Amino acid sequence: MPANHNRLSQFLVLLGDFALLNAAFFGAAWQRFRDLPFFDTPYYDYYLQLWLILNLLWLVLSLIFRTYDLALKPEPRQSVSKTFNVFVSHLFVVLLLLVALQRSEQYSRLFFVYFYSGVALTILPWHFFYLRFLRSFRRRSRPLRTVVLVGEGRAFDDFIQLVGRNPELGIAVSRSFRIDKSDSLEDLESYLEQSPGEELFVALNPGHAAFGKLYRLADQHVMNFRALPDLGMPPMKSMRIDFYDHLPVLSFRPEPLQQWHNRWLKRSFDILFSLLLILICLPLLFPILAIGVKLSGPGPIFFKQKRSGYRGEEFVIYKFRSMALNAQSDTHQAKAEDPRITSFGRFIRRWHLDELPQLFQVLGGEMSMVGPRPHMIAHTEEYRNLVDRYMLRHLVKPGLTGLAQVQGYKGEHDLPSMEARVRADVYYLENWSLLLDLSIILRTLASWSKTN
């Protein structure tokens, strides 16, 4: 995409964000202070400072989460996820600043309710529909740039097919030269003398004899040089290149939680959500469940078992005991009509109340609210060599619920269902966002209401 077109798209998104952010601010101020002229409120100076902070903070967080980094083929869902992360971080940081600076008494709580409700109801749809419009506009409009393609092999053919299937990329191949057939570098140079292009795309590996010549040829004709190397691997949309000093390093799998701000956001959400549930459940439910388990039969109140956790490290998971004491608890998964389950245990398993002690493990950092469910050590040892990419699920903390569970992959551990579960867990790893976490939690609650 030409730089000026990309900058225009970024400017329009930025302009829309700040228009809606400030509309939400002044709308909230009007709604809160409509019985009193806003400029006559006793805390007018405080709200002026707040206005500056809200705008500056939104810009900084948007740059951190790269919501204005519009790719050649922007995905509306991914954009909304990034923007939602900005929204939650913005709310959290503002509340943290108010508490740290001891300014919470100077501002109306109702104002913040109006303001953040307005932001959520306007900016999130704005990003989604703007990118939908941008993709549609690019598909209908003429190409933004023409390029010259030279090379050979699969990368050469893949690029031609890609441009043909995706007009929203805004690319047209003005001429292509296959140097493994009849075309030669002399033919290319003759063509560039008569019809200079903006960019030269080269579908060759850097070790090819012609690669360096083509690089210099692009310099001589003032063209941007773009390489399309054939890595001998399946196409990966999310491959990223980092530089360790001068050395390029390729990353083939996206891992959003490797970024510090995403880890911080997920951890903050885990702490707040688990703490809220503990404060709600602990005073009433925990004593009742503890008594019920104790009366259900001999044995401890809590069941504990080693499971595979983050980075494959073993950790001890805690539950309210739902089974009679047995020697197979560490090797045999519970089944629907398992005779080991007590009558009270069947009740708490039906409502997932046996997993409430894990809220303390979420609060302590061993687990997360959302993530792959931790497996027994015996199952990890059994399936790590049977299921492709099985161990990748341990690159995120185990969760109380997960994408595989809401998709129906839970219960008994046969090979087909385990393969489907791992696919869902790896998808979660590669596509994490706070919006995805919230979606999984809501789908979990919905599935509980249907089954109960």
Structural domains of the chain sorted by starting position, each given as residue range(s) with its CATH number in brackets: 3-140 (no CATH), 145-235 (3.40.50.11900), 260-451 (no CATH)
Token pair in block for residue 353: 């109340």
200 vs 235, which has greater pLDDT? 200
Confidence of residue 141 (pLDDT cuts 50, 70, 90): confident
pTM for the model stands at 0.75
For the residues 351-376, what does the mean pLDDT come to?
94
Is the distance from CB of 227 to CB of 206 less than 8 angstroms? yes
Nearest to 262 by CA among 68, 434, 7, 37: 434
Q: With 90 as the cut, is the pLDDT of residue 331 above it?
A: no
Evaluate whether 372 touches 423 at the Cβ level (below 8 Å).
Answer: no
Closest CA to 94 of 140, 54, 123, 137: 54
What does residue 146 show for φ and ψ, rounded to 5 degrees?
-110, 145
> What pLDDT does residue 360 have?
96
Inform me whether the pLDDT recorded for 143 exceeds 80.
Answer: no
pLDDT-derived band at 450, boundaries 50, 70, 90: low
**Band of the pLDDT at 149, cuts 50, 70, 90?**
very high
Residue 128 CB partners (closer than 8 Å, separation 6+): 76, 77, 79, 80
Q: What is the mean pLDDT of the chain?
A: 86
What pLDDT is recorded for position 198? Answer: 75
Q: Which of 312, 390, 311, 405 is nearest to 355 (CA)?
A: 405
Q: Where do we find the tokens 């010549």? A: 213
Amino acid letter for position 308: S
